[in-house]
Structures are given as structure tokens and as C-alpha cells.
Amino acid sequence: METLSIRPGELWLKQLLGIAQGYSGGSRRIASVLLSLWSGDSFKCDLQDLLYLDSDRLQQILTLIAYLHGRGLQLDCLVSQEEMNPILDRYQPRVEG
């Protein structure tokens, strides 16, 4: 599937990706949503986590969901593997072997 690069008008999406790479509880919650939208078969999010986001971040998440829904897209059409790698590195479960 071809990945479309994030356009300049989608600054809110870049902001979410940046926050998701942080170390706060909000970062973890945003990462959970982004990972679920990016690869729902592999990552699940708890919708109750959205209740603990500040209003601006919640609005950005809802805007993202509406944007994807309105265009029939999934997040992997807007965000590349390379852009998700920092989030995956932080939140993907590690298999010890």
C-alpha cells in the first residue's frame, strides 16, 4: 500500500506523533490510539484512556478519527513505518528469548 506523506496542513497529526514519543501518561495514551489506528490487528487501545487527555489532545484525536473515516483511510496511508518506528520502539512488547 502506498503511503501518503503528511501534508503541511496536517500539523496536528505531526504534533500527535511527537507527543506519542514522550514519557508522560498522555504520551502513552496517544501512542496507544495511534498504534491502534495504524495497525489495529496488532495494537488495541482502551477508549477510556481518551477521558484522561486534555481537551486539545482529545480534539486532535477526534479530528484524526473523523479525517480517516471521512476519507475511508487508515492511519498507515498517512504515516509511514519510519514515522511510527520511534513509537513502536517505545511501546511494542519485547520478546525475550
Domain residue spans of the chain: 8-91
* Least confident window among 4-8, 37-41, 65-69, 85-89: 4-8
Nearest to 53 by CA among 27, 78, 21: 27
Could you identify the residue written with the cell 501534508? 7
Nearest to 82 by CA among 17, 9, 10, 15: 17
For 12-22, what is each residue's pLDDT tens digit? 888 999 999 99
Nearest to 62 by CA among 33, 86, 35, 41: 33
Q: What is the pLDDT of residue 92?
A: 76
For 40-77, what is each residue's pLDDT tens digit? 899 999 999 999 999 999 999 998 999 899 899 899 99
Indicate the pTM of the whole model.
0.84
- What end-to-end distance do the CA atoms of the chain give, in Å? 32
